[in-house]
Amino acid sequence: MVLAGMLLFSSCNLYRKYQSTATVPDNVMGDVVNPQDKESMGDMDWRSAFPDPLLQQLIEKALANNTNMRTAQLSIEQAQNNVKAAKWGYAPTLSFTPNASYTYQGAGAFTYQVPVTASWQLGIFGQTTTQVRKAKAQVAYMQDYKQAVQVSLAANVANLYYTLVMLDRQLEVAVQTEGLWEESLESTRALFEAGLTQSSGVYQMEASVAQVKTDIIDLRNNILITEAALCNLLTEPPHHIERAPFGTFRMPEQLHLGLPLRLLDARPDVRMAERNMEIAYYGTQQARQAFYPTLTIDGLFGMAGSPIQMIGKAVASLAQPIFAGGKLNAQLKNAKLEQESARLQFEQSLLDAGNEVYRYLHNCQTAGQKSEFIEARVNALQQAYDATSELMMNGTNTYLEVLTAQESLLSAQLSQVQNRFEMIQALINLYTALGGFGTGAGR
């Protein structure tokens, strides 16, 4: 009686359900958090955050057709089947095992049995319950994994889409530059024929025109490669992707981050890390439960013999590990180490999430601060190019000054497009880091 009481007392924690102790440090996102800002742009539906209808169609198509999304759904269904299988641990197993024999010893004797056998292993120390809870935690993990795939997929589609928009604009600038430089080349040739400049000026202009033509070829190739990459996410063969013109994207007036605590619910990767802690917790419970005895009830019921007679039997057995202590101790130690490893991974996932928010926010702000100065530089270089071209036609400037003005202007224009793209990309990544793309899409 005393032994039974000790067993029950020491096994109380074997039945306990996992209780989350996850906390989020207030400074996990650095010094960018406003304690009064309880809103977060990550809570905004992605269709409102990115209202471009062409982009929305692409994201919806990717979420419906992408192979990784469909594979993630299959993994959820497998995990759900594992829960059903674990629940059957509460029920006995039945089997039909008929047999017959004929014996001849001077006279023939025919005997047979038509029994139904049953075996029921009772998880009196919570073994089956723990297995069911662990299987449910694995289902939740796979559901979070599917959402993580969804977030990553939608963000990749958005980034590739705006990469195409940026490349279109760079190509447009390069083609315009090609036309202007060909005009400058014709002017230089005319000046050379009139004896107002040297042949080296013509050669330098020809080289510049050839360079911009090469850049145009590279840009067109980059567009095709990017379209193919986007089509791959859509699970489609490479084809042209329709997109909006550059400059239609509008940045939000304010970037709301919300409080650090919401990262626990908003980020599927953080939730996955917490699910791992839960799974590891139940793994430790299973390792502890292995020290306790298992109760098995075996039964048999049916017909046998000749003449027919009914048979029935029931046997209960208790199995207690005795000489497996070293192995069980090692398994328990490893389970505890797995639990500690899961805790460390969770803490790292929080740190990574906060670090991403911090970096992408500053990327947005930096691109915004640079845009005004880059625009001023482009305007100044445009005026410088116009002035040097006019002076060269009047014989005041040399072709070298015109070349320098041309190349500086093109470089500034391309930098302006690149900076605008970096701002859009940083916003997409910031929205994703705050848990965006995780709701209202494919769930």
pLDDT at 400: 67
pLDDT at 349: 94
In this structure, the chain runs to a length of 443
Give me the chain's average pLDDT, please: 83
pLDDT above 70: residue 406: yes
* pLDDT, average across residues 166-175: 93
SS (H, E, C) 385-419: HHHHHHHHHCCCCCHHHHHHHHHHHHHHHHHHHHH
CATH class of the region 20-433: mainly alpha
| Nearest CA among 34, 155, 62, 31 for reference residue 426 | 155
pLDDT above 50: residue 1: no
* pLDDT, average across residues 130-142: 93
Percent above pLDDT 70 for the chain: 80
pLDDT tens column, 377-392: 999 988 888 887 777 6
Phi, psi of 162 (to 5 degrees): -75, -20
- pLDDT-derived band of residue 142, with 50, 70 and 90 as boundaries? very high
pLDDT tens column, 86-113: 887 777 776 766 766 656 555 556 666 6
Least confident of 17-26, 85-94, 362-371: 85-94
Q: Who wins on pLDDT, 401 or 301?
A: 401
Least confident of 46-50, 77-81, 248-252, 318-322: 318-322
Name the most confidently modeled range: 11-15, 28-32, 256-260, 363-367: 363-367
SS (H, E, C) the chain: CHHHHHHHHHCHHHHCCCCCCCCCCCCCCHHHCCCCCCCEHHHCCHHHHCCCHHHHHHHHHHHHHCHHHHHHHHHHHHHHHHHHHHHHHHCCEEEECCEEEEEECCCEEEEEEEEEEEEEEECCCCHHHHHHHHHHHHHHHHHHHHHHHHHHHHHHHHHHHHHHHHHHHHHHHHHHHHHHHHHHHHHHHHHHHCCCCCHHHHHHHHHHHHHHHHHHHHHHHHHHHHHHHHHHHCCCCCCCCCCCCCCCCCCCCCCCECCHHHHHHHCHHHHHHHHHHHHHHHHHHHHHHCCCCEEEEEEEEEEECCCCEEEEEEEEEEECCCCCHHHHHHHHHHHHHHHHHHHHHHHHHHHHHHHHHHHHHHHHHHHHHHHHHHHHHHHHHHHHHHHHHHHHHCCCCCHHHHHHHHHHHHHHHHHHHHHHHHHHHHHHHHHHHCCCCCCCCCC
- pLDDT-derived band of residue 188, with 50, 70 and 90 as boundaries? confident
pLDDT at 33: 73
Least confident of 106-120, 365-379, 396-410: 106-120
Least confident of 99-103, 153-157, 239-243: 99-103
User: What predicted TM-score, i.e. pTM, was given to this entire model?
Assistant: 0.82
C-alpha torsion sign, points 430, 432, 433, 436: positive
| Nearest CA among 87, 235, 228 for reference residue 164 | 228
Name the most confidently modeled range: 98-107, 203-212, 235-244, 309-318: 235-244
Least confident of 201-210, 273-282, 338-347: 201-210
Q: How far apart are CA 279 and CA 204, in angstroms?
A: 69
| Nearest CA among 98, 223, 230 for reference residue 155 | 230
pLDDT above 70: residue 183: yes
